[in-house]
A = this chain, B = another copy of it.
Amino acid sequence: MSKTYNFYAGPAILPQDVMKKAQNELLDFNHMGLSIMEISHRSKEFTEVIETAETKLRDLLNIPEDYSVLFLQGGASTQFAMIPMNLLQGGTADYINTGAWAKKAIKEAKLFGNVHIAASSEDREFSYIPDRFQFSTDAAYVHLTSNETIGGIQFQTFPDTGDVPLVVDMSSDILSRRLDITRFGLIYAGAQKNMGPAGVTLVIIHRDLIEASADNLTSMLSYRLHAEKKSLYNTPPCFAIYIVKLVLEWIEGLGGLAAVEAFNNEKAAMLYDTIDHSRLYRGTAAEADRSKMNVTFRLSSEDLEAKFIAEAKQAGFVGLKGHRSVGGCRASIYNAMPLEGVKALVEFMRAFEKDNA
Protein backbone atom coordinates (compact mmCIF):
# COMPACT_ATOMS: atom_id res chain seq x y z
CA MET A 1 0.00 0.00 0.00
CA SER A 2 1.59 3.23 -1.11
CA LYS A 3 -1.19 5.69 -0.28
CA THR A 4 -1.02 7.55 3.03
CA TYR A 5 -4.23 8.06 5.01
CA ASN A 6 -3.95 10.96 7.41
CA PHE A 7 -5.75 10.52 10.74
CA TYR A 8 -3.84 13.25 12.60
CA ALA A 9 -5.90 15.20 15.14
CA GLY A 10 -4.54 18.53 13.91
CA PRO A 11 -2.90 20.01 11.98
CA ALA A 12 -4.88 17.56 9.92
CA ILE A 13 -5.81 16.34 6.49
CA LEU A 14 -6.81 18.98 3.93
CA PRO A 15 -8.81 18.35 0.76
CA GLN A 16 -6.56 17.06 -2.05
CA ASP A 17 -8.32 19.33 -4.56
CA VAL A 18 -7.45 22.33 -2.40
CA MET A 19 -3.82 21.29 -2.06
CA LYS A 20 -3.55 20.79 -5.82
CA LYS A 21 -5.05 24.17 -6.61
CA ALA A 22 -2.71 25.81 -4.10
CA GLN A 23 0.23 24.03 -5.68
CA ASN A 24 -0.78 25.03 -9.20
CA GLU A 25 -0.99 28.71 -8.42
CA LEU A 26 1.75 28.92 -5.77
CA LEU A 27 4.14 30.80 -8.06
CA ASP A 28 1.54 32.72 -10.01
CA PHE A 29 -1.59 33.84 -8.20
CA ASN A 30 -4.36 35.32 -10.28
CA HIS A 31 -2.00 35.75 -13.28
CA MET A 32 0.01 38.32 -11.32
CA GLY A 33 3.32 36.54 -11.82
CA LEU A 34 3.63 36.51 -8.01
CA SER A 35 2.80 34.14 -5.18
CA ILE A 36 -0.18 34.89 -2.94
CA MET A 37 2.48 34.99 -0.18
CA GLU A 38 4.26 37.88 -1.88
CA ILE A 39 1.47 40.41 -2.31
CA SER A 40 0.33 43.22 -0.05
CA HIS A 41 -2.56 42.48 2.28
CA ARG A 42 -4.01 45.77 1.05
CA SER A 43 -3.78 44.87 -2.64
CA LYS A 44 -7.09 44.45 -4.45
CA GLU A 45 -6.18 40.83 -5.15
CA PHE A 46 -5.81 39.90 -1.48
CA THR A 47 -8.81 42.02 -0.53
CA GLU A 48 -10.84 39.83 -2.86
CA VAL A 49 -9.49 36.69 -1.18
CA ILE A 50 -10.41 37.74 2.35
CA GLU A 51 -13.77 39.17 1.31
CA THR A 52 -14.62 36.00 -0.61
CA ALA A 53 -13.63 33.88 2.39
CA GLU A 54 -16.00 35.90 4.56
CA THR A 55 -18.83 35.75 2.04
CA LYS A 56 -18.51 31.98 1.56
CA LEU A 57 -18.45 31.46 5.30
CA ARG A 58 -21.54 33.62 5.74
CA ASP A 59 -23.29 31.63 3.02
CA LEU A 60 -22.31 28.19 4.29
CA LEU A 61 -23.11 28.89 7.94
CA ASN A 62 -25.96 31.28 7.23
CA ILE A 63 -24.38 33.97 9.40
CA PRO A 64 -26.71 36.95 9.92
CA GLU A 65 -25.57 40.51 9.25
CA ASP A 66 -25.44 41.36 12.94
CA TYR A 67 -22.43 39.09 13.44
CA SER A 68 -18.86 40.04 12.57
CA VAL A 69 -16.57 37.47 10.99
CA LEU A 70 -12.91 37.87 12.00
CA PHE A 71 -9.75 36.14 10.84
CA LEU A 72 -7.22 36.43 13.67
CA GLN A 73 -3.94 34.89 14.78
CA GLY A 74 -2.82 32.98 17.85
CA GLY A 75 -5.11 29.96 17.74
CA ALA A 76 -7.92 29.06 20.12
CA SER A 77 -5.37 29.46 22.93
CA THR A 78 -5.32 33.22 22.34
CA GLN A 79 -9.12 33.25 22.33
CA PHE A 80 -9.08 31.59 25.76
CA ALA A 81 -7.73 34.94 26.97
CA MET A 82 -9.36 37.36 24.55
CA ILE A 83 -12.86 36.19 25.44
CA PRO A 84 -12.65 37.02 29.17
CA MET A 85 -10.52 40.12 28.50
CA ASN A 86 -13.22 41.49 26.21
CA LEU A 87 -16.37 40.10 27.77
CA LEU A 88 -15.81 39.27 31.41
CA GLN A 89 -14.38 42.48 32.85
CA GLY A 90 -14.22 41.17 36.41
CA GLY A 91 -17.68 39.58 36.36
CA THR A 92 -18.66 35.93 36.41
CA ALA A 93 -18.74 33.50 33.50
CA ASP A 94 -20.08 29.95 33.42
CA TYR A 95 -17.80 27.32 31.94
CA ILE A 96 -18.65 23.71 31.11
CA ASN A 97 -15.69 21.45 31.77
CA THR A 98 -15.54 18.60 29.28
CA GLY A 99 -11.81 17.99 28.88
CA ALA A 100 -8.35 19.37 28.30
CA TRP A 101 -9.50 22.15 25.96
CA ALA A 102 -12.27 23.34 28.25
CA LYS A 103 -9.80 23.29 31.16
CA LYS A 104 -7.34 25.46 29.26
CA ALA A 105 -10.10 27.97 28.55
CA ILE A 106 -11.09 27.93 32.24
CA LYS A 107 -7.52 28.44 33.43
CA GLU A 108 -7.08 31.58 31.32
CA ALA A 109 -10.52 33.00 32.19
CA LYS A 110 -9.69 32.85 35.89
CA LEU A 111 -7.05 35.52 35.33
CA PHE A 112 -9.75 37.99 34.31
CA GLY A 113 -12.78 37.32 36.53
CA ASN A 114 -14.82 34.70 38.33
CA VAL A 115 -15.33 31.35 36.73
CA HIS A 116 -18.29 29.21 37.75
CA ILE A 117 -18.19 25.59 36.58
CA ALA A 118 -21.75 24.97 35.40
CA ALA A 119 -21.10 21.28 34.73
CA SER A 120 -18.17 18.89 34.44
CA SER A 121 -17.49 15.38 33.21
CA GLU A 122 -14.15 15.16 34.97
CA ASP A 123 -15.62 12.54 37.35
CA ARG A 124 -15.51 9.97 34.57
CA GLU A 125 -12.35 11.05 32.77
CA PHE A 126 -14.20 13.32 30.37
CA SER A 127 -15.87 10.39 28.66
CA TYR A 128 -19.25 12.07 28.34
CA ILE A 129 -20.99 15.41 27.82
CA PRO A 130 -22.92 16.63 30.89
CA ASP A 131 -26.63 17.12 30.34
CA ARG A 132 -27.44 19.03 33.51
CA PHE A 133 -26.11 22.52 34.03
CA GLN A 134 -26.10 24.85 37.02
CA PHE A 135 -25.95 28.22 35.38
CA SER A 136 -25.28 31.38 37.39
CA THR A 137 -27.95 34.02 37.53
CA ASP A 138 -25.57 36.79 36.49
CA ALA A 139 -23.14 35.18 34.07
CA ALA A 140 -21.56 37.39 31.40
CA TYR A 141 -21.55 34.34 29.15
CA VAL A 142 -21.60 30.55 29.11
CA HIS A 143 -18.56 28.87 27.56
CA LEU A 144 -18.28 25.35 26.21
CA THR A 145 -16.08 23.30 23.90
CA SER A 146 -18.26 21.72 21.23
CA ASN A 147 -15.87 18.84 20.53
CA GLU A 148 -13.07 17.50 22.69
CA THR A 149 -10.42 15.95 20.49
CA ILE A 150 -8.75 14.04 23.34
CA GLY A 151 -11.77 12.41 24.96
CA GLY A 152 -13.57 12.07 21.63
CA ILE A 153 -16.81 13.60 22.91
CA GLN A 154 -19.03 16.17 21.22
CA PHE A 155 -22.09 18.23 22.04
CA GLN A 156 -24.84 16.86 19.78
CA THR A 157 -27.15 19.68 20.85
CA PHE A 158 -26.35 22.87 22.71
CA PRO A 159 -27.78 23.90 26.10
CA ASP A 160 -30.36 26.64 26.23
CA THR A 161 -28.72 29.60 27.95
CA GLY A 162 -31.62 31.99 27.55
CA ASP A 163 -30.44 35.58 27.29
CA VAL A 164 -26.90 34.74 28.35
CA PRO A 165 -24.56 34.65 25.34
CA LEU A 166 -23.28 31.19 24.49
CA VAL A 167 -19.56 31.23 23.64
CA VAL A 168 -18.27 28.10 21.95
CA ASP A 169 -14.85 26.77 21.00
CA MET A 170 -15.55 24.95 17.74
CA SER A 171 -11.92 24.46 16.75
CA SER A 172 -12.34 20.79 16.03
CA ASP A 173 -15.82 20.61 14.52
CA ILE A 174 -16.53 23.92 12.80
CA LEU A 175 -18.01 23.39 9.33
CA SER A 176 -18.61 19.70 10.05
CA ARG A 177 -22.38 20.10 10.46
CA ARG A 178 -25.20 22.60 10.18
CA LEU A 179 -25.53 25.24 12.90
CA ASP A 180 -28.10 27.78 13.96
CA ILE A 181 -25.73 30.69 14.41
CA THR A 182 -28.38 32.82 16.14
CA ARG A 183 -28.08 30.58 19.20
CA PHE A 184 -24.50 31.74 19.78
CA GLY A 185 -22.93 34.96 21.00
CA LEU A 186 -19.45 34.03 19.89
CA ILE A 187 -17.97 31.07 18.04
CA TYR A 188 -14.25 30.62 17.61
CA ALA A 189 -12.09 28.05 15.90
CA GLY A 190 -8.46 27.49 15.05
CA ALA A 191 -8.39 26.58 11.35
CA GLN A 192 -6.19 23.52 11.51
CA LYS A 193 -8.82 20.80 11.60
CA ASN A 194 -11.68 21.46 9.20
CA MET A 195 -10.84 24.82 7.72
CA GLY A 196 -7.23 25.23 6.66
CA PRO A 197 -3.65 25.23 7.91
CA ALA A 198 -2.55 26.28 11.39
CA GLY A 199 -2.05 30.01 11.74
CA VAL A 200 -5.49 31.54 11.35
CA THR A 201 -8.33 31.60 13.85
CA LEU A 202 -11.94 32.28 12.99
CA VAL A 203 -14.12 34.36 15.32
CA ILE A 204 -17.83 34.86 14.66
CA ILE A 205 -19.14 37.40 17.16
CA HIS A 206 -22.49 39.11 17.64
CA ARG A 207 -22.29 42.87 17.41
CA ASP A 208 -23.93 43.28 20.83
CA LEU A 209 -20.91 41.58 22.36
CA ILE A 210 -18.54 43.80 20.43
CA GLU A 211 -20.39 46.87 21.63
CA ALA A 212 -20.35 45.68 25.24
CA SER A 213 -16.69 44.64 25.12
CA ALA A 214 -13.90 46.27 27.14
CA ASP A 215 -12.56 49.47 25.59
CA ASN A 216 -9.23 49.70 27.40
CA LEU A 217 -7.53 46.77 25.71
CA THR A 218 -4.32 46.65 23.76
CA SER A 219 -5.10 46.79 20.04
CA MET A 220 -4.39 43.21 19.02
CA LEU A 221 -6.62 41.81 21.78
CA SER A 222 -9.64 43.98 21.02
CA TYR A 223 -12.54 42.43 19.12
CA ARG A 224 -13.87 45.94 18.58
CA LEU A 225 -10.75 47.01 16.70
CA HIS A 226 -10.49 43.86 14.59
CA ALA A 227 -14.17 44.18 13.66
CA GLU A 228 -13.79 47.86 12.76
CA LYS A 229 -10.72 47.10 10.66
CA LYS A 230 -12.25 43.99 9.09
CA SER A 231 -9.33 41.81 10.27
CA LEU A 232 -6.84 44.13 8.55
CA TYR A 233 -5.60 46.19 11.50
CA ASN A 234 -2.22 44.60 10.94
CA THR A 235 -0.92 42.15 8.35
CA PRO A 236 -3.12 39.05 8.57
CA PRO A 237 -1.86 35.51 7.90
CA CYS A 238 -2.61 35.92 4.19
CA PHE A 239 -1.64 32.48 2.93
CA ALA A 240 -3.63 30.66 5.63
CA ILE A 241 -6.68 32.81 4.83
CA TYR A 242 -6.25 32.00 1.14
CA ILE A 243 -6.27 28.26 1.91
CA VAL A 244 -9.39 28.75 4.07
CA LYS A 245 -11.05 30.39 1.09
CA LEU A 246 -10.19 27.38 -1.10
CA VAL A 247 -11.52 24.99 1.56
CA LEU A 248 -14.78 26.93 1.77
CA GLU A 249 -15.17 26.75 -2.00
CA TRP A 250 -14.52 23.01 -1.80
CA ILE A 251 -17.27 22.63 0.84
CA GLU A 252 -19.60 24.64 -1.35
CA GLY A 253 -18.80 22.24 -4.21
CA LEU A 254 -19.72 19.26 -2.03
CA GLY A 255 -23.19 20.71 -1.57
CA GLY A 256 -22.70 22.74 1.59
CA LEU A 257 -22.99 21.76 5.25
CA ALA A 258 -26.03 19.50 4.92
CA ALA A 259 -24.05 17.28 2.57
CA VAL A 260 -20.93 17.48 4.72
CA GLU A 261 -22.92 16.55 7.82
CA ALA A 262 -24.46 13.49 6.18
CA PHE A 263 -21.06 12.43 4.91
CA ASN A 264 -19.46 12.86 8.34
CA ASN A 265 -22.28 10.87 9.98
CA GLU A 266 -21.69 8.06 7.51
CA LYS A 267 -17.95 7.95 8.14
CA ALA A 268 -18.32 8.05 11.93
CA ALA A 269 -21.04 5.36 11.90
CA MET A 270 -18.78 3.07 9.90
CA LEU A 271 -15.97 3.35 12.44
CA TYR A 272 -18.12 3.14 15.58
CA ASP A 273 -19.96 0.21 14.08
CA THR A 274 -16.67 -1.61 13.58
CA ILE A 275 -15.68 -0.90 17.18
CA ASP A 276 -19.07 -1.96 18.56
CA HIS A 277 -19.01 -5.24 16.63
CA SER A 278 -15.51 -6.12 17.76
CA ARG A 279 -14.11 -7.92 20.76
CA LEU A 280 -10.73 -6.25 20.39
CA TYR A 281 -11.63 -2.55 20.20
CA ARG A 282 -13.50 -0.64 22.87
CA GLY A 283 -14.82 2.88 22.38
CA THR A 284 -13.97 5.26 25.23
CA ALA A 285 -16.75 7.84 24.86
CA ALA A 286 -20.33 7.52 26.08
CA GLU A 287 -22.36 6.38 23.10
CA ALA A 288 -24.72 9.35 22.98
CA ASP A 289 -21.82 11.82 23.10
CA ARG A 290 -19.46 10.23 20.63
CA SER A 291 -17.53 12.66 18.48
CA LYS A 292 -18.03 12.53 14.73
CA MET A 293 -14.56 14.01 14.35
CA ASN A 294 -12.30 12.08 16.72
CA VAL A 295 -13.05 8.41 17.25
CA THR A 296 -11.23 7.27 20.39
CA PHE A 297 -10.78 3.62 21.28
CA ARG A 298 -8.62 1.25 23.27
CA LEU A 299 -7.36 -2.26 22.78
CA SER A 300 -6.92 -4.81 25.57
CA SER A 301 -3.37 -3.74 26.46
CA GLU A 302 -0.94 -0.94 25.81
CA ASP A 303 1.36 -3.39 24.10
CA LEU A 304 -1.34 -4.36 21.67
CA GLU A 305 -2.17 -0.68 21.10
CA ALA A 306 1.46 -0.01 20.26
CA LYS A 307 1.46 -2.95 17.87
CA PHE A 308 -1.78 -1.75 16.26
CA ILE A 309 -0.44 1.79 15.78
CA ALA A 310 2.87 0.54 14.38
CA GLU A 311 1.31 -1.90 11.92
CA ALA A 312 -1.27 0.67 10.88
CA LYS A 313 1.49 3.17 10.16
CA GLN A 314 3.30 0.53 8.16
CA ALA A 315 0.12 0.05 6.13
CA GLY A 316 -0.18 3.78 5.43
CA PHE A 317 -2.52 4.93 8.24
CA VAL A 318 -0.77 7.73 10.12
CA GLY A 319 -1.78 9.70 13.20
CA LEU A 320 -3.70 6.92 14.99
CA LYS A 321 -1.94 7.33 18.31
CA GLY A 322 -4.17 8.74 21.05
CA HIS A 323 -3.25 12.03 22.67
CA ARG A 324 -0.14 11.69 24.83
CA SER A 325 -2.14 12.64 27.95
CA VAL A 326 -4.54 9.69 27.71
CA GLY A 327 -2.90 7.12 25.44
CA GLY A 328 -4.94 4.62 23.44
CA CYS A 329 -5.92 5.10 19.81
CA ARG A 330 -7.71 7.84 17.96
CA ALA A 331 -8.85 8.19 14.38
CA SER A 332 -9.54 11.79 13.46
CA ILE A 333 -11.90 11.89 10.51
CA TYR A 334 -12.39 15.54 9.66
CA ASN A 335 -14.27 16.78 6.60
CA ALA A 336 -11.36 16.14 4.25
CA MET A 337 -11.03 12.45 5.13
CA PRO A 338 -12.51 10.57 2.18
CA LEU A 339 -14.93 7.67 2.69
CA GLU A 340 -12.32 5.49 1.03
CA GLY A 341 -9.89 6.28 3.88
CA VAL A 342 -12.37 5.19 6.56
CA LYS A 343 -13.25 2.06 4.58
CA ALA A 344 -9.59 1.15 4.28
CA LEU A 345 -9.03 1.73 8.00
CA VAL A 346 -12.04 -0.40 8.93
CA GLU A 347 -10.73 -3.23 6.77
CA PHE A 348 -7.33 -2.91 8.38
CA MET A 349 -8.89 -2.97 11.86
CA ARG A 350 -10.84 -6.13 11.06
CA ALA A 351 -7.79 -7.86 9.66
CA PHE A 352 -5.73 -6.83 12.69
CA GLU A 353 -8.43 -8.17 14.99
CA LYS A 354 -8.43 -11.50 13.19
CA ASP A 355 -4.64 -11.76 13.45
CA ASN A 356 -4.61 -10.79 17.10
CA ALA A 357 -7.68 -12.55 18.48
- List A residues at the B interface (Cβ < 8 Å): 2-4, 6, 8-14, 16, 19-20, 22-23, 26-27, 32-35, 37-43, 73-78, 80-81, 85, 104, 107-108, 111-112, 190, 192, 197-200, 216, 218-221, 233-240, 243, 316, 318-319, 324
Residue contact A239 to B39, C-beta cutoff 8 Å: no
A22 — nearest CB in chain B belongs to which residue?
Answer: B26
Q: Which of A10, A197, A243 has the most CB of B within 10 A?
A: A197
Within the assembled complex, what's the spacing in Å between the Cα atoms of A237 and B218? 22
How many Å from the CB of A74 to the closest CB on chain B? 5
Residue contact A240 to B199, C-beta cutoff 8 Å: yes
Residues in B whose Cβ lies below 8 Å from that of A318: 32, 34
Asked, given contacts A199-B239, A240-B199, whether A40 binds B75 with beta carbons under 8 Å apart, the answer is: no
Residues in B whose Cβ lies below 8 Å from that of A220: 74-75, 77-78, 80-81
Residues in B whose Cβ lies below 8 Å from that of A221: 81
Asked, given contacts A19-B26, A81-B221, whether A32 binds B4 with beta carbons under 8 Å apart, the answer is: yes
Within the assembled complex, what's the spacing in Å between the Cα atoms of A27 and B23? 8
Asked, given contacts A26-B22, A75-B73, whether A40 binds B238 with beta carbons under 8 Å apart, the answer is: no
Residues in B whose Cβ lies below 8 Å from that of A42: 324
How many Å from the CB of A320 to the closest CB on chain B? 12
Interface of chain A, main secondary structure? loop
Residues in B whose Cβ lies below 8 Å from that of A319: 40
Residues in B whose Cβ lies below 8 Å from that of A16: 27
Within the assembled complex, what's the spacing in Å between the Cα atoms of A27 and B200? 20
Within the assembled complex, what's the spacing in Å between the Cα atoms of A12 and B13? 29
How many Å from the CB of A356 to the closest CB on chain B? 26
Residue contact A37 to B14, C-beta cutoff 8 Å: yes
Asked, given contacts A108-B219, A216-B111, whether A12 binds B26 with beta carbons under 8 Å apart, the answer is: no
Residue contact B235 to A190, C-beta cutoff 8 Å: yes
Q: Which of A108, A220, A243, A319 has the most CB of B within 10 A?
A: A220
Residue contact B218 to A111, C-beta cutoff 8 Å: yes
A14 — nearest CB in chain B belongs to which residue?
Answer: B38
Residues in B whose Cβ lies below 8 Å from that of A85: 218
Residue contact A235 to B10, C-beta cutoff 8 Å: yes
How many Å from the CB of A140 to the closest CB on chain B? 17
Residue contact A11 to B73, C-beta cutoff 8 Å: no
Within the assembled complex, what's the spacing in Å between the Cα atoms of A32 and B27? 23
* 20 A-B interface contacts by CB (under 8 A): A4-B33, A9-B40, A11-B37, A11-B38, A11-B39, A11-B41, A13-B34, A16-B27, A23-B23, A26-B26, A41-B198, A73-B237, A75-B234, A77-B220, A78-B220, A80-B219, A108-B219, A198-B235, A198-B237, A198-B239
Residues in B whose Cβ lies below 8 Å from that of A316: 33
How many Å from the CB of A43 to the closest CB on chain B? 8
Residue contact B8 to A40, C-beta cutoff 8 Å: yes
Within the assembled complex, what's the spacing in Å between the Cα atoms of A77 and B72? 12
Within the assembled complex, what's the spacing in Å between the Cα atoms of A126 and B118? 55
Within the assembled complex, what's the spacing in Å between the Cα atoms of A41 and B77? 15
Residue contact A10 to B40, C-beta cutoff 8 Å: yes
How many Å from the CB of A156 to the closest CB on chain B? 26
Q: Which of A32, A73, A221 has the most CB of B within 10 A?
A: A73
